[in-house]
Amino acid sequence: MTLPISSFFIASTLRGGNAGTNSTAPTSPGAVCSTAKRRDLPYQSGDRTGMQKIKRQRTADCVVGGFRYLEKQPLVGSLLLGLYNDEGQLDHVGFTSSIPAKDRPALTRKLKKIIKPPGFTGKAPGGPNRWSTKRSSEWKPLDPKLVAEVQFDHFTGGRFRHGTKLLRWCPEKSPEDCTLRQVQRENA
């Protein structure tokens, strides 16, 4: 059963705080999540009955600076994402592989037409790290024309941490407008 939002009381929690003493609006930059309690039920300490955690969705518009093929097929497996730094260089910041299988053939054909070095003009993918494999350094650079909106959980150290999810293509967005500023936390 889905209840309307008016059926819930919502309190947001800041990092290190609690909703009782340190609450803020659900969309505030410092909010980790919101907790919603059904209005028709009393608060029940230690019990989640009638409670629901609501996480804030964070998105970023990223330039697609390259791609990798699937391991066993000549189809796009992941898109390499970039954001422009303050010096105007395109830094590799992560990847997304949440591409529906039915879209991979057409997307592969589209990407093959815009393969053009260098792809990334700042930090590039493929450097050594603890998860590197031989395939990690095998990628195709693209002319930085495509912009995609992705959903992410965490951005630190100049990279998306955890996976990102491809939400949509943004043909209306200029690649130069895709900067690191959009992922920097307002309270950092």
Domain count, the chain: 2
CA distance 92 to 65: 8
Q: Is residue 188 part of a domain?
A: no
pLDDT for residue 135: 52
Chosen domain end from 55, 70, 88: 55
Are residue 39 and residue 105 in the same domain, yes or no? no
Q: Is residue 70 part of a domain?
A: yes
pLDDT in tens, 134-168: 555 689 999 999 999 999 988 999 999 887 999 99
Chosen domain end from 55, 70, 96: 55
Are residue 72 and residue 27 in the same domain, yes or no? no
Please report, for the domain that includes residue 151, its CATH number.
Answer: 2.40.50.140
pLDDT in tens, 6-22: 555 555 444 444 444 33
pLDDT for residue 27: 46
Are residue 111 and residue 167 in the same domain, yes or no? yes
| Residue pair 50/37 in contact by the 8 Å Cβ criterion | yes
Closest CA to 90 of 18, 168, 142, 37: 142
Write out the residue range of the structural domain in which residue 49 sits: 5-55
User: What percent of the chain lies above the pLDDT cut of 70?
Assistant: 72
Q: What is the DSSP secondary structure assignment for residue 164, as one 8-state letter?
A: B
Are residue 102 and residue 42 in the same domain, yes or no? no
Are residue 16 and residue 102 in the same domain, yes or no? no
> Is pLDDT above 80 for 33?
no
Are residue 131 and residue 166 in the same domain, yes or no? yes
Are residue 50 and residue 86 in the same domain, yes or no? no
Are residue 50 and residue 87 in the same domain, yes or no? no
pLDDT in tens, 94-140: 999 999 999 999 999 999 999 999 999 999 987 655 555 555 568 99
Are residue 40 and residue 129 in the same domain, yes or no? no
Q: Whole-model pTM?
A: 0.71
Are residue 70 and residue 39 in the same domain, yes or no? no
Are residue 114 and residue 152 in the same domain, yes or no? yes
Are residue 69 and residue 50 in the same domain, yes or no? no
pLDDT in tens, 50-91: 777 676 788 999 999 999 999 999 999 999 999 999 999 999
For the chain, how far is it from start to end, CA to CA, in angstroms? 39
The shares of helix, strand and coil residues in the chain, as percent rounded to the nearest 5, are 15, 40, 50
What is the rounded average pLDDT for all residues in the chain? 81
Looking from the CA of 114 toward its CB, the CA atoms found within 13 Å total 14
Q: Is residue 91 part of a domain?
A: yes
* CB burial string 101-117: b at 16+ within 10 A, e below: eeebeebbeebeeeeee
pLDDT for residue 152: 93
